Amino acid sequence: MELAHGRWINSLALAELWLAIGDRTQAREQVLAAYRNAWVDGEPYVWRYELNKACELLEKRGEPTPKLAPYDSAKEKKFPWEVELVAAEKLRAKKKAAGDTLASS
């Protein structure tokens, strides 16, 4: 089917189409692709609607949901200003603590 080879593929719609046609093998392939695409970075950073629809189709087919890697904050790329912001917050807390100590003396 040419729809499966386009530049932008809606795997969820293709899975439903394959199910309607009765080709369970192609439907499985497309619904698994839809699930992986919707998973994005892992919970909670998923495309919720698409993931839920893929889960519904997998359930309809009697298939278990795939186990994909969970979200890993260690892989998160930090922006240059984030380090400076954390340092500024620590400095502010330190100054506040020092001010509280002086005020109570």
pLDDT, residue 96, reads: 87
Digits of tens for pLDDT over the chain (105 positions)? 555 666 678 999 999 999 999 998 999 999 999 999 999 989 999 999 999 999 999 998 889 999 999 998 888 888 888 888 999 999 999 988 887 665 555
Amino acid at 65: T
Token pair in block for residue 1 = 């089917």
pLDDT, residue 73, reads: 83
Cα–Cα distance list, 80 to 73, 86, 87, 93 (Å): 16, 11, 12, 21
Question: pTM of whole model > 0.75?
Answer: no
